[in-house]
Amino acid sequence: MPYQWILFDADETLFHFDALAGLKRMFAGHGVDFDDDHYRAYQALNLPLWQAYNAGEIDAATLQQSRFEGWAERLGTTGAQLNSDFLQAMAAICAPLPGVRELIDALHGKARLGIITNGFTELQQVRLERTGLAEAFELVVISEEVGSAKPHRDIFDHALTRMGRPDADSVLMVGDNLHTDILGGLNAGLDTCWYNPSGQPGEAAIRPHLEVQHHDQLRQRLG
């Protein structure tokens, strides 16, 4: 095993994140038939908020509440409550991506495993427990708790400190997002692996050390 530590992104790297299914489930509990038009309107608000959050322009609480403010007014509740309901719905439907369990099993005892995520605290531990993966990860670093989001170096420095400051070349960062996971890992001096299941074109300015389209490929590369 060439690495002492392997760090993973969570959403769409370890876990399928079907936001539409989660929103449908959450809004059904409020008596709303959430359709595709609703989803497009939600994403038109949600995606710029995520961009602002990743850039450090807003905090986690602002993102979580703002994306549901309009619905909160219509339903007579708060954005924070709807956000909590949404995260609970996502936890209920979450599932590991194909090949994840086999990869984690193969790495057990060969490398120490951690997660660095820009996702929110309320979802992370319950999702790990419900999928039976909680014990596999020694380290879970959540941007909401650290106060810094990928790709900023602060969140990686926080993780490396908690890891006991291993040599950077003994750490691999695995993620699906070039701009948060891969660029962030590179800026922290780590080796990186781009999980790119759909074969999206890369960018000349961001060069991962490895690229895989399936977790089985990563398992074979690390074997």
CA dihedral 42, 46, 48, 49 (to 10 degrees): 150
Q: How far is CA 124 from the centre of its chain?
A: 9
Q: Is 36 one of the catalytic residues?
A: no
From 163, 192, 175, 186, select the one nearest 4 (Cα to Cα).
163
Cβ-defined contacts of 82-87 (< 8 Å, 24+): 82/26, 82/30, 84/122, 85/26, 85/29, 85/30, 86/22, 86/23, 86/26, 87/120, 87/122, 87/123
128: left (phi over 0), alpha (psi -120 to 50) or beta: alpha
Please pick, among 9, 85, 176, 181, the residue that the annotation labels catalytic: 9
Strand 95-96 to 15-16 pairing: antiparallel
Give the per-residue SS3 of 135-173: HHCCEEEEHHHHCCCCCCHHHHHHHHHHCCCCCHHHEEE
The catalytic residue positions are 9
